[in-house]
Structure 1
Amino acid sequence: MTTTTTSVWATGQQPSRSQRQGRYLPESMKHPGKMLPAIAAQVIDTYTRPGELVIDPMCGIGTTLVEAVHLGRDAAGVEYEQGWAELAVANLAHARRQGATGTGTVFAGDARGITGLLHGLTGQAALVLTSPPYGAATHGHVRSTRDSGEPGIRKHNQRYSRDRANLAHQRLPVLLDGFAQILAGCTELLRPGGVVAVTVRPYRQQGELIDLPGHVQKVAARAGLVLADRIVCLLCGLGHGKLLNRASFFQMHEARKGWTRGLPIHATAHEDLLILVKPLTVTDTEDMSNQPAQIAGERGPSMGERR
C-alpha cells in the first residue's frame, strides 16, 4: 500500500512524564534517552497493521515494544544493558496486565549481532523503530538543594551505562559504524517493502553542531535502505497560538549560556523521524529513491517469551 503522512506530527502535546504515567512502571523515568510514547505509537499505527511484527534493536526500557503490544502488534527488542532489558520485560508484563493484546520478547545482547539474536525472525518484520544513543550521558534530571540537601544543582539519571563496550561510549565514527551494522542486520529481519524508522536529532559537541540525522541517513544507505520521508516530531506542545516549551532545565541553561557567548543556541523542540524502506528487490533501489514510499503494510538470553 502507499502511505501518505503529514510532515509535522504533534507528538509533544503532553509532557513525557504524563505520556508514561500509569502506562509504564515509575522506574522507567530513570532511563536518560527514552523515545516519546506518542512518537512510537504514531509510527507503529502509520506503518503497520495489527498482528504484524515490530522490532527495536536498541529498545531501552521498551517504549517501542509497549506501544506495539498496546496496538495489537507483536514486538521483539534487543537491549545491551541487562538492567534496562529487565525493565523492558517488566513494562511488557505491565502492558499485558492492562489488556495489551500483542506479544513481546526482549533479548539481552549486542544489537550489532541482531541477526544471530533474532535469527528466527529473518524476513518477518514489518517495521524496525529505534533511536541511536547520543553519548554516554544526557542532561538527565535535576535535584535542587531543597531535594538533595547539598549546595547547588545536581544531576541524576543521566547515564545510559558505565560499560565502556556500550556504543553510547564510542566516538562518532565508531558509533556510526556500529549503528550501520545494526541497520544492516535489521534490514535482513525486514520483509521486502518493510520500514526502518529512526528518531534522531542533531547535538552539540564542544560547541559544534553535529548533524546526526544526516550521518544516519548515509549509513542507512550503506545498509541498502532508501530514504522515503523525513518527518518532524514535535517535542514541544501546540496550544493557545504558541509553542509550549518542554525543554529540560539543562537544555534551557545551555541555551542561555550560548546566547551570553554570542552563539544563537536554541533548546531542541523536535526530533527528526527518518523513514527508510527496504526495496522490494535489489534493482528497485534506484527507482524508489525518486518515488513516494511503497510500504507493505547463536541465540542470546531471552527475557520474555512470545505467546
Structure 2
Amino acid sequence: MTDRPTSPWPLPLPPGEEPPVPPLSVWPTGQRDPAAQLRDSGCVPGTDADIDRIPPAVAAYAIATYTRPGDLVLDPDCGAGTVLTAALRASRHALGLTARARWWTLARANITAAKTAGAWRDGSVLDARPKVLATIRAAGLVGRVGLVLTSLRTAPENPKDRAPSPDRDPDSAIAELVATLAYCEPLLRSGGHLAVVTRPLRHPDGSLVDLTTPLLSAATAAGLAPVDRCVALTAGLRGNRLVTHASLSERRAVARARAAGTSTALTAHREVLVFQLAHDAELSAAAVAGIPWSPEDDVIRPAVNGVEYPGWRRAA
C-alpha cells in the first residue's frame, strides 16, 4: 500500500470504462446580448460572422477564473480572436492560431484594436494550423501556457450560414480537436488549465448531440484530467427566467425546424469542459485529502526535440 493519491481515474482506462464527469457549475455570462458583448470588448465589425466564437463574456470569465495577470493564454484555433481580445484586456499575454485567411485578418484586427485601447501585454496570431504546436517552432512554449482556451468548431465553411443546423455532423470537428488536445498538452505550465467550449448541436430528430463523452475520452488519451464542467449562460437571467439573445437568423432557423416537425429550441448556453495535466490533478486531490506528497513522486516527462524542460517537473 502507498499513501500516494490515485489519479481521478486509472490511466489508461479499463476497456469499456468511461472517464467520470466532473461536477457542474453555472456561469452568469449572458447578461449582455452578443452584439453588446462584442461592442463592449472592442471587437471589430465582422467578428460576429464567426458563429463558433467563444462569447467575450465567457472568455473573460474563464480567463479570470483560471489564470493570473501576466499568464499566457493560447487559442489553437482562434477564429476571429475573441479569446485573444479578452486575454489582452485582462492583462494576459495572448497567442492564437488559425489557417483561415478571413479569421486571421479579423483576429489580427481585434488584437490591434485591443492594443489601441490600451492593452500592453503581448498578443499575436499565427497563420498556422494547430499541428504546428507539435513542431520545433513551438519549443519555446513548452511548459509556459497558463490556459488553453478554445472552441469545438463545427460551423460550415460558408460564412453566410450563421444559423445552427440540426443535421451538422460534429465527428470530423471532434477528430480535429482530439489531435489539438494532444498538441497542447505539453505546453501547459504546472497548474495550468485547458478549457474547451462547445455550443449545443442537434441530430436530425432534434435530440442533442453528446459532445461531452468523446471530448472527455479525447482529453484522457492526451494525458489530461477533467476538473470542472460548466454551463456558461448565453441567455440573460431575469429573476427566475432565462431570456435568450438569439439572432433573427437563429430564430428563423428554429421556426423552420419546428415547421418541419423537428423539436428544437433557441440556444441559451455553452458547455465548458476544463482539464488539467493528470499529475497536477493528482496533486490537487492529495492537497484536498491532506495526503503528503513525496518529492520522489515528482514527474519529469520525456524531452521534446532533445531538450528537457525544468518547468515540466510537477513539484509538490
Q: Which category of TM-score, normalised to the shorter sequence, fits these structures?
A: 0.7 to 0.9
Identify the residue that residue 179 of structure 1 maps to in structure 2: 177
Any residues of structure 2 matched to 1:36-185 within 5 Å, and which?
Answer: 36-116=55-135, 117-136=137-156, 156=160, 158=162, 172-185=170-183
Counterparts of 1:201 and 1:30 in 2: how far apart (Å)? Answer: 15
AA partner of residue 249 (structure 1): L
Q: Deviations over 1:193-243 (max 9, x none)?
A: 310011113312433532123221221111111111111100100125422
Counterparts of 2:36 and 2:246 in 1: how far apart (Å)? Answer: 15
Counterparts of 2:284 and 2:115 in 1: how far apart (Å)? Answer: 42
Identify the residue that residue 12 of structure 1 maps to in structure 2: 30
Residues 52 and 24 of structure 1: CA distance in aligned 2, closer, same or farther (over 3 Å): same
Identify the residue that residue 34 of structure 1 maps to in structure 2: 53
Q: Deviations over 1:12-46 (max 9, x none)?
A: 11111111116111122232322110000010011
Structure 1, gaps ≥5 residues long = 141-155, 160-169, 292-307
AA partner of residue 239 (structure 1): R
Residues 137 and 285 of structure 1: CA distance in aligned 2, closer, same or farther (over 3 Å): farther
AA partner of residue 188 (structure 1): P
Residues 257 and 123 of structure 1: CA distance in aligned 2, closer, same or farther (over 3 Å): same
Larger radius of gyration: 2
Deviation for aligned residue 1:107: 0.9
Residues 281 and 28 of structure 1: CA distance in aligned 2, closer, same or farther (over 3 Å): closer
How many aligned positions are there? Answer: 259
Deviation for aligned residue 1:266: 1.9
Identify the residue that residue 226 of structure 2 maps to in structure 1: 227
The range that moved more, 90-99 or 212-221, is 212-221
AA partner of residue 36 (structure 2): S
Structure 2, gaps ≥5 residues long = 1-22, 290-316
Counterparts of 2:222 and 2:193 in 1: how far apart (Å)? Answer: 13
TM-score using structure 1 length: 0.75
* CA contact 2:74–2:148 (8 Å) conserved in 1: yes
Counterparts of 1:209 and 1:178 in 2: how far apart (Å)? Answer: 21
Counterparts of 1:222 and 1:61 in 2: how far apart (Å)? Answer: 29
Deviation for aligned residue 1:254: 4.1
Counterparts of 1:286 and 1:71 in 2: how far apart (Å)? Answer: 26
Deviation for aligned residue 1:82: 1.9
Counterparts of 1:270 and 1:185 in 2: how far apart (Å)? Answer: 28
* CA contact 1:65–1:92 (8 Å) conserved in 2: yes
* CA contact 1:192–1:280 (8 Å) conserved in 2: no
Counterparts of 2:216 and 2:55 in 1: how far apart (Å)? Answer: 21
* CA contact 1:71–1:101 (8 Å) conserved in 2: no
Counterparts of 1:201 and 1:29 in 2: how far apart (Å)? Answer: 15
Residues 241 and 179 of structure 1: CA distance in aligned 2, closer, same or farther (over 3 Å): closer
Counterparts of 1:221 and 1:49 in 2: how far apart (Å)? Answer: 26
* CA contact 2:84–2:111 (8 Å) conserved in 1: yes
Residues 157 and 93 of structure 1: CA distance in aligned 2, closer, same or farther (over 3 Å): farther
SS in 1 for 2:85: helix
The range that moved more, 268-277 or 246-255, is 246-255
The range that moved more, 264-273 or 43-52, is 264-273
Deviation for aligned residue 1:87: 1.6
Counterparts of 2:50 and 2:264 in 1: how far apart (Å)? Answer: 25
RMSD over equivalenced CA pairs, Å: 2.8
Residues 257 and 90 of structure 1: CA distance in aligned 2, closer, same or farther (over 3 Å): closer
